[in-house]
A = this chain, B = another copy of it.
Amino acid sequence: MSFNTVTIIGFGLIGSSIARALKKHGAAEHIVCADMSDDVCATVRRLGIADVTTTDIAGSVKDADLVFVCVPMGAIEPVVASIAPNLKTGTIVSDVGSVKGLVEGVFKKHLPAGVHGIPGHPIAGTEHSGPEAGFAELFVGRWYIMTPPKNADRGAVDRLAALWKQFGSNIEEMEASHHDQTLAITSHLPHLIAYTIVDTATQLENDLQSEVIKFSASGFRDFTRIAASDPVMWRDVFLNNRDAVLDILARFNEDLIQMQKAIRTGDGQMLQDVFTRTRAVRRAIIDAKQA
C-alpha cells in the first residue's frame, strides 16, 4: 500500500480516473470522494469508485496522507484555503490543473509548514466530463508533469512520482513557469483556436450551418472534438495563464496575417514552403510515438 487515505476533491473526469487507478493498483487503503455536488456524490456511490463520499470539502482531508485537488483552476484557491487547517503534518497535497504558476502560489500561501504542496499535471483527458467519464487507464503512456517548488521535500516528490508511474505515466519535472509557457503552445492555443473556429461556424446562416455539420469530415470535425471540452475548466485556464497565452497568440496572429497576405496576393511559393515544413512536425510526433 502506497498511501493510507487518499482524498480526491472534485470528482470529474480526472478525479474519478485517479480514484479508479488507485483502486486498480491497490495504491490506497481508503479513498475519500469530496465534491460539493450531491448529484456527483450519489453517482460516485452508485459507481462504487470511492469508499466514502462527502460534500464537506474542508473536513474531507482530516485523515488523508495524500490529497488531490481536481477542481477547475478558479476554485483551487478557496478549496486549498478551506482544507489547510485540517491537514496532518506530512500530508502531500497535489492538484491536476493546467496552469502551474497559480497553484504554486496558492500552495505557498495557504499550506501550513510540514505539509508538502506539489503541483502536478497529467497530460491526459478526453472531451467528456463528469465522474462517469473517467477510467483507470486514462494516464497510461501519457506524460505527468510535476512542478515541485525549489525547497520541496524529495521524499514526498518521489512518493508522488512513484504513484503516477504505477498509473502508467511517464514523469517529467520542470519549473511552473516553464510548464505554463509550454502548455500555452501545446494545449491552450490549440483549444482557443478550435473553440474560435467552431464558434465562427455557429454564427453562420442556418442552412450553411447544417451543411458544415454534414461535410465536417473534410477538416472541421477535427476541431470540434477539442472544442467540446469542459467550458468552466477552459475559462479558468485562459484567465489564469493569460500572459503566456496572449504571447503565443500574438505570434500565431502574425503568422496567420502572412498566410492571409500570401493568399490575397497569390504567393503560391510562400504557401507551399509553409505547407512543406509543417509536414516535418507531424513526422517528429510520429517518431516520438505521440501520434
CB <8 Å contact, B279 and A220: no
Chain A binding surface SS class: helix
CB <8 Å contact, A278 and B235: no
- Flag whether A38 is at the interface (Cβ < 8 A): no
In whole Å, how far is A188's beta carbon from the nearest beta carbon of chain B? Answer: 8
CB <8 Å contact, A256 and B253: yes
Beyond A278-B224, A282-B227, whether A182 also contacts B211 by CB under 8 A is: yes
In whole Å, how far is A229's beta carbon from the nearest beta carbon of chain B? Answer: 8
Copies of this chain per assembly = 2
In whole Å, how far is A20's beta carbon from the nearest beta carbon of chain B? Answer: 20
CB <8 Å contact, B231 and A195: no
Chain A's interface size range is 35 or more
Beyond A142-B217, A263-B242, whether A228 also contacts B279 by CB under 8 A is: yes
CB <8 Å contact, A285 and B182: no
Chain A positions near chain B (C-beta within 8 angstroms): 74, 123-125, 127, 142-143, 145, 172, 181-183, 185-204, 208, 211-229, 231-232, 234-236, 238-239, 242, 245-246, 248-249, 251-253, 255-256, 259-260, 262-264, 266, 268, 271-272, 274-285, 288, 290-291
